[in-house]
Each structure stands twice: as structure tokens, then as C-alpha cells.
Structure 1
Amino acid sequence: MDKITDVVMKPLEKSIYLKPYTMHFTQNGAKKTWDLLSVHDSVAIIVFNVTRNVLILVKQFRPAVYLGKNGITIELCAGIVDKNLSLTEIAREEILEECGYDVPASSLHLIGSYRSGVGTSASIQTAYYCEVTDDMKVSDGGGTDDELIEVVEMTVDDIKKYVTQSCVVKSPPSFLFGIYWFLLNKAPKVNQ
């Protein structure tokens, strides 16, 4: 997954996922411009395997992150809203596709929606929580043919150590939000 070669950077040619814009506006009498993108909204799912008390996460290459480091991130299971389905159904499909668990849509619990990438896109991401068991595992996951996704499992102790590092640059803010929500609301309580 992390063997990246033949990298070439060039201006955006054509994209089905994003549309770049430059906004010209006046704020308090001063003329300004801002570059921004129109992108799809998305879903993100905190997946917790209650059989083994591990969080199910995904590791993947993100070209934008590659500009600043190796480009491999650790994230929540997630996907863009690009189908004519409910957000819950899209989230269910992403769990199956990326993580390999077949869950009923009714097992997804809505956490809420928030803005993502407010400096460039301000799309809306909707977060869910889902508990799975080993019996629900039907494949290795890994995403579609054009994605290289590795399923990562972390114990609650491991995830606490990961998110409390002084530098968590392998993960986006939505990941941190989701993990802290999980730790506050759903993590098994030990020695309390």
C-alpha cells in the first residue's frame, strides 16, 4: 500500500468529485478572494466489534496527505454520498465494502452531522456508531477495486494512546471527534 512511485503534480484537469471555484467578495469594505471546492457530502462510522472489544478502523493512502508526509492515514470507515440512497444505507454499504461486516441498517445509530473541511469545501459529514460481532464478518473488506484499504483493529487502550499523542497527523479531525465520542459514550468501562 505504501509503495508510491512516479508521482506527478499538475493542475486539475477534470473531476467528477470536486469542482474548484474562486469566490470574490467584499467583507467590511475590503475586497477579498478565496479558493474553494464543491465536494460530495460524506458519512463516517465508528465501528466497534463487541466480540473482541476492538475498534474497526481503516488505513489508506491519501494523496493530499502525501504532500506533507507518507500519505498513509488511519481513519474511521467512511464514504462519500454519491448514490440515491439514505445516509444510513450508504453508511451500511461502506461498512460492508471497507470493513467486511454485513450489518442491518437498523443497527446504525446516528451521532450527528457537522461541517468538514471548512477552509476549502465545507461539506457535511454525518457520523454513525455501529456495534458488530465476529459473526457479522463476511469478507476481508478493503474497499473497491480502485481503493487500497487495510482494516486496522485497535483496542480501547491502544486508541487512547493513539489519540493522546502530541501529534496525530495520520488522522483527520473527524476521526478524533468520533473516537472521543466513542470514549465518552460507548467505550467499555474498566475498573470503575
Structure 2
Amino acid sequence: MDDISDIHYGPLPPDSPYVKPFRFHYTQNGKAKSWDLLKVHDSVSIVIFNVSRQRLVFVKQFRPAVYHGLVSAEAGTDGTKIDLKKYPPSLAVTLELCAGIVDKPISWVEIAREEVLEECGYDVPVERLEEIISYRSGVGTSGALQKMFYVEVTDGDKVPSAGGGVDDEIIEVVEYSLEEARNLLQKGKMLSSPPAFLFGVLWFLTHRAPGCTS
């Protein structure tokens, strides 16, 4: 996963299917203002709990945006001056919920079901997926909508040949015990994880974890 080299930057092509930058103009209290925004896909995320082994199921993957955030202070404008020994790509391998973009003409819960199968290898019917909450991510740049789901899986739901992503995705499936998940929320913890991941873990420990009082 972190066998990465030949890092360099380039201009964003206008036909990018994922990101479209633009400038938003408006007038507030009589003053003209503008804000630079990104049009991106809405998305789903899924909190997965394996009841057979009492483990939360997460994914790990290399995130270029996280890596750029780590090295941007000293990288050249084209990215070719990055010291890969000082900043190994493994620093940008993130721990996340199973998730995916909404880019198909099917329901959000069906997209969530597909992501659970493609990324983590569990084949479950949509009826077992519970919608938790909807919220806006990237409120300063995109305001994209994300819906979070919850599903309980068993070892019997596992498809041996599935999981790890599709096409050229490289995704590692990992499992955490309840205690390991609680440790992720310790005060002062430093994680390369998105807020939705932390929110999902906290929601599970508060509302669905075995023994919780909610």
C-alpha cells in the first residue's frame, strides 16, 4: 500500500469526474463577497460491527490529500522536492469507516451495501443497513452531503473473494476490539482519520456497543 514513488503535482483537468472548482459570488449585508468552492460527490459511510467476533470493521488506505498536508510546507510547487525518507508515504495511510461516493442512479442504502461488499467483503441485504444520520462535510469548501449507516455482520456474511476495493483501489480491512476502539478517542490522541470516522466510533460506543446503556 505504501510502495509509492514518483510524486509530483499537475493542474486539475477541467473534465475531472470528482472535483470541479468554482467561485461563488454573493452579497451579504450590502457587501459583495466571494468564496472559492469545490463541487464534489455526496457520499455514504458505514459503521460495521462483526457480531461473530465482537469487532468493529474499518479500512485503511493511502490518502494523497493527507500526504500533501504533511509535506506541503517544504514540497516544491511541483511536488518533486519531497524527502520520502523524512516523509514516508505510510504516514498518510488513514484509518476510516467503509465509505464511498454517490455516483450511481441507485438508492443511497444500495450504494452503502455495495461499499460494504467491495471494500470489506461482507454481503448483506439492504434491510440490515440502518441509516443513522445525515450531515454536511467540508463546510468550508464543498458542503457535500454524507449519510452514515450502521450494519451488523457475521462471519457467515463474508465472501472469500470480495473486499479490498475494486479496480485499482488498494484497501486494507482491519478489525478493532471495543477496547481498541475506545482507545482511539483518548484525550490528546493524534490520528490521520476524518471526523466522520471519529463520530461513527463515538456513536457506536454510545448507542450500539454491547453493554452500553443507551
**Alignment TM-score > 0.5, same fold:** yes
Match of 1:154 in 2: 176
Cα distance in 1 for residues equivalent to 2:140 and 2:165: 28
Q: What amino acid does structure 2 have at the position aligned with 1:137?
A: K
Match of 1:124 in 2: 145
Q: What amino acid does structure 2 have at the position aligned with 1:20?
A: P
2:80 corresponds to 1:79: no
Which range moves more in the overlay, 59-68 or 163-172? 163-172
Residues 68-87 of structure 1: CA deviation (Å, up to 9, x unaligned): 23321110000000011111
Cα distance in 2 for residues equivalent to 1:7 and 1:30: 42
Q: What amino acid does structure 2 have at the position aligned with 1:76?
A: L
Match of 2:166 in 1: 144
1:185 to 207, 210, 214: 207
Q: What amino acid does structure 2 have at the position aligned with 1:162?
A: L
Helix, strand or coil at the partner of 1:124: strand
Q: What amino acid does structure 2 have at the position aligned with 1:143?
A: G
1:112 to 133, 148, 161: 133
Please state how far the C-alpha of 1:165 moved relative to its aligned partner: 4.6
Match of 2:22 in 1: 21
Name the TM-score, length of structure 2 as normaliser: 0.85
Cα distance in 2 for residues equivalent to 1:119 and 1:126: 18
1:134 to 155, 165, 168: 155
Please state how far the C-alpha of 1:91 moved relative to its aligned partner: 0.4
Match of 2:35 in 1: 34
Q: What amino acid does structure 1 have at the position aligned with 2:31?
A: A
Please state how far the C-alpha of 1:34 moved relative to its aligned partner: 1.5
Please state how far the C-alpha of 1:67 moved relative to its aligned partner: 1.1
Question: Which one has the bigger strand percentage?
Answer: 1
Structure 2 unmatched ranges of 5 or more: 71-90
Q: What amino acid does structure 2 have at the position aligned with 1:10?
A: G
Name the TM-score, length of structure 1 as normaliser: 0.94
Count matched residues: 190
Helix, strand or coil at the partner of 1:32: strand
Match of 1:63 in 2: 64
Root mean square deviation, CA, Å:
1.4
Q: What amino acid does structure 2 have at the position aligned with 1:154?
A: Y
Give the ranges of 4+ consecutive aligned residues of structure 1 lying more than 2 Å apart after TM superposition: 24-33
Please state how far the C-alpha of 1:145 moved relative to its aligned partner: 2.1
Helix, strand or coil at the partner of 1:68: helix
Structure 1 unmatched ranges of 5 or more: none
Structure 1 or 2, whichever has the larger Rg, is 2
